[in-house]
Amino acid sequence: MLEKIKSEASAAIEVAADLKALDDIRVKYLGKKGEITAVLRGMGALSAEERPIVGALANTVREEIEALITGKNEALAAKAMEEKMASEKIDVTISSKRAVQGKLHPLSQVLSEIKDIFIGMGFSIADGPDVELDYYNFEALNIPKNHPARDTQDTFYINDNVVLRTQTSPVQVRVMEKQKPPIRVIAPGRVYRSDAVDATHSPLFHQIEGLVVDKGITMGDLKGTLETFVKALYGEDAKVRFRPHHFPFTEPSAEVDVSCFVCGGEGCRVCKGEGWIEILGAGMVHPKVLSGCGIDPEEYSGFAFGLGLERVAMRRYDIDDLRLFFENDLKFLKQF
Ligand code: PHE
């Protein structure tokens, strides 16, 4: 009887597939209602001679079964651990998905280069709002209501007194109202005009304003500053040329050309045979603008200039369509 229990139990233990099955076997044979226990309980019916023999045998069988269960338990636990390790294995040598690294937009690249040049000359950076009072964008710059200069700078009106700024020049006024000379700032930013989109026009573009006010500032300082700037941007051979022009807030005013950096002035496709490329508007700050900001034009003078960022970038990278800057097509942007 006990021999039969032993061989059945060991066969069952042998094939037990998991810890749960093994525990069921333990209960079945060794538990309170198990088969070995039943044998021990039934010993009362045996003779005095048989009892110790059967008792000893039952204990031996129980110990043997216990040992088998313990052994199997360890084997199953080891197997479970092995399977867990295998399922959680990671290959540290596998190549990773590489994160795509972005970079600065070409306009930002050119802007930071320009900022660096002016900061190197002692300028600091000023700022003003895109949504601007008509007063700063026009009136304070000597462009009263109904002045014809407003036609060329039509913009988006929030109401009669608030516009999207058409130029960065209003920052000149904001700076001069707050800060007394010496003043030496550039003011980069977005500007807006109600122009239809084409290869050279956009209702939104960028300018970089420059303003210097101090005692004894002359047109020579303007020319020297712009020459230094242009050589830093386009190389030592670059020259500047001033052509007379009119801006209501500077007097005298000029449009400034740089010698073509592709052909060096001989005439080519980029400069359309001219040898020169227009890059900015400039002039001496109008006395009316100075006094409007509480700066005495008898004591102080200044110059200002306004540079178009897209133009500089288009020429720098030989880009013929302004729209490319704003479409954000990665095939285009990745080239810079
Ligand atoms: N704000 C002028 C424009 O947009 C450029 C300019 C700036 C001219 C400063 C003179 C001085 O055309």
- Render pLDDT for 6-26 as a digit per residue (tens, 0 to 9): 888 888 888 888 888 888 888
Q: What is the average pLDDT value for the chain, to the nearest integer?
A: 91
CATH assignment at residue 260: 3.30.930.10
- What is the per-residue pLDDT across 196-214, written as a single tens digit (0 to 9) for each? 998 888 999 999 999 999 9
Calculate mean pLDDT across residues 311-324: 89
Asked whether residue 255 is assigned to any structural domain, the reply reads: yes
Strand order in the sheet with 183-192: 124-125, 183-192, 204-214, 301-308, 276-285, 250-259, 240-247
Looking at 57, 88, 119, the residue that finishes a domain is 88
Q: Is the pLDDT of residue 187 over 90?
A: yes
Q: How far is the CA of 86 from the centre of ligand 1 (A)?
A: 71
Residue 301 pLDDT: 98
Ligand 1 within 6 A of CB of 247: yes
Cis peptide before 182 (omega within 30 of 0): yes
The verdict on 191 and 128 lying in the same domain is yes
Shortest CA distance to 29 belongs to which of 5, 57, 3?
5
Higher pLDDT, 253 or 314: 253
Judge whether residue 261 has pLDDT over 90.
no
149 and 16 in a common domain: no
Residue 185: strand pairing partners: 124, 211
How far is ligand 1, taken at its centre, from the CA of residue 247, in Å? 7
Range of the domain at 30: 2-88
pTM above 0.85, yes or no: no
Q: Torsion angle of alpha carbons 181, 186, 190, 194, nearest 10°?
A: 70
222 lines ligand 1 (CB under 6 A): no
Q: pLDDT digit string (tens) for 118-173?
A: 999 999 999 999 999 999 999 999 999 988 888 888 899 999 999 999 999 999 99
Residue 111, C-beta contacts closer than 8 angstroms, at least 6 positions apart: 188, 206, 208, 309
Residue 109: pLDDT band by 50, 70, 90 thresholds? very high
Token output for 159: 């109401």
pLDDT at 334: 92
Q: Which H/E stretch holds residue 244?
A: strand 240-247
